[in-house]
Amino acid sequence: MIKEELLEKEPIAYRSLYNALKNQKIAHSYLFSGEYSPLKIEAAYLLAQSIIEGKEDFACETCDTCRRIRRNQYFDVIYVDGYQKSIKKDDIETILDEFSRTSLESSGKKVYILANINNSSIKVLNMILKFMEEPGNSETYGIFISDRKEDLLPTIVSRCQDIPFLTRDFSFLIEQYENAGFDSTDAYLLASILHRYDSELDLNDPYYLTAREYVYKMIDTLQDKKYLPVMFAKEFYPTFKDREEFRKCVDYYLAIMIRMINDALEERRSQDSEYDHYLQRIRDNDPGRLLEIFTRASDRILMNAERKLLFDAISYEIISYI
C-alpha cells in the first residue's frame, strides 16, 4: 500500500497529508517538492484518491474508484507529466475545458496533477497561476510535483501548501538492482537515477551502459580538454543509429555525470577502486564548476534543447572555464 510506504520513507509528508485529511482542512493547491522520487507521483495519486473518497483518512487504494484514478480512467482526475516533454498550453487548456463542465463522477470533486511542473514556459506557468486563482469550482484541487522548486514562479509556490520529500535513502532500490545482477557501482548509479527512464530492470540496458562508458571517457579527457569536442563528434554521436537512442543515452549520461560530481563533492568513498579513481579525477578539476555546467545542461534538456548543440556548449564551457 502506498500510504504504508509513505509513512515508512517520508514520515513528514505522510503526517502533513494525514492531518489535513483528518481535520478536513485540505488545501486547494499542493506542491510536492524535494529531490526526485517516484514516491512523489504515487503520493499525488494517493492524495487524489483521498480527496475523491472524502473520508477523514487516506483512501483505501483498493476500491474501483481508487483503481480507476490510479489507471488514469477517472474522468475528474487529470494527470500531466512534463518530464519527457514540457507541459504545453494545450495541456492546460484541456484541464480548463474539462473542469469547466459539470462533473461526470458522483463525488463532484475535480483534481489535476502536474508532474515536473518546472518544465513549463513562463506563459504556461502564468496560465496555471490564473487557473489557481480562478478555478471556477470550489471543489477543484491541484497537486504539483517539482524537483526544482526554485524554478517555479514565486506566486505559484506561495499559493501552495508545500509538502517536502526529504528521503535520499536509495538502499531499497540498490538492493533491487543488485538482486537483478548489477555490480555494486552500477546498482548505486541506477538507483540514484531512480527509475527515471525504465520501469523494469534490464541487465543489458545499452543506453545506461554506453552512457557510463562515455562518462568515464569524458572524465579521462579532462586531462586534455581540447579533445572533448572531437570525442563527442567522432566517438559519441556516431554510436547511435536514431534520434531516440541518442536521446535516451544523453539523458542517462547527464544523470550519471551529475550523480558522480555530487559524490565527488561529498567526498564519497566506495569499495569500487575504479569508481573512486574517477571521483578523484573530478575533484582535481573544479567539481563545483563542473556541477554548474552539467546541471545547466540538464535544465536545458528539460526545455527541449538540441542535444548535439548542448554537448558543443558543454565542451566550450569546460575548455574555457575548467
Q: Does residue 134 contact residue 19 with C-beta atoms inside 8 Å?
A: no
Residues 86 and 131 both lie in one domain: yes
CATH assignment of the domain containing 20: 3.40.50.300
User: What whole-number distance in Å separates Cα of residue 217 and Cα of residue 301?
Assistant: 21
- Of 111, 137, 165, the residue that ends a domain is 165
Domain of residue 187, residue span? 171-321
CB atoms within 10 A of CB 122: 8
Residues 229 and 160 both lie in one domain: no
Residues 150 and 60 both lie in one domain: yes
State the cell numbers at 196.
527515471
User: What whole-number distance in Å separates Cα of residue 195 and Cα of residue 201?
Assistant: 9
Q: Does residue 19 contact residue 122 with C-beta atoms inside 8 Å?
A: no
Residues 200 and 77 both lie in one domain: no
pLDDT by residue, tens only, the chain of 322 residues: 999 999 988 888 999 999 999 989 999 999 999 877 788 999 999 999 999 999 889 999 999 999 999 999 999 999 999 876 789 999 999 998 888 888 788 888 999 999 989 888 889 999 999 999 887 677 899 999 998 888 888 999 999 999 988 765 567 678 878 888 888 998 888 887 754 444 455 666 778 889 999 999 999 999 888 898 988 888 888 888 788 888 888 888 998 999 899 899 988 888 899 999 999 999 999 999 998 899 888 877 766 668 888 888 899 999 988 8
pLDDT (tens digit, 9 = 90+) per residue, 288-311? 999 889 988 887 776 666 888 888
Residues 196 and 117 both lie in one domain: no
Output b/e per residue, 2-21; b: 16+ Cβ within 10 A.
bbeebeebbeebbebbbebb
For 168, the 3-state DSSP assignment is coil
Q: Does residue 29 contact residue 163 with C-beta atoms inside 8 Å?
A: no
- Of 116, 142, 165, the residue that ends a domain is 165
Residues 10 and 96 both lie in one domain: yes
DSSP one-letter code for 43? H
Residues 149 and 221 both lie in one domain: no
Domain count of the chain?
Answer: 2
Residues 139 and 178 both lie in one domain: no
Q: Please, what's the largest Cα pairwise distance for the chain?
A: 66
Residues 145 and 245 both lie in one domain: no
Residues 260 and 212 both lie in one domain: yes
Q: What share of the chain is helix, strand, coil (3-state, %, to 5)?
A: 60, 10, 30
- Of 165, 197, 227, the residue that ends a domain is 165
Polymer length in residues for the chain: 322
Residues 114 and 178 both lie in one domain: no
pLDDT (tens digit, 9 = 90+) per residue, 43-91? 999 999 999 999 889 999 999 999 999 999 999 999 999 876 789 999 9
Residues 286 and 139 both lie in one domain: no
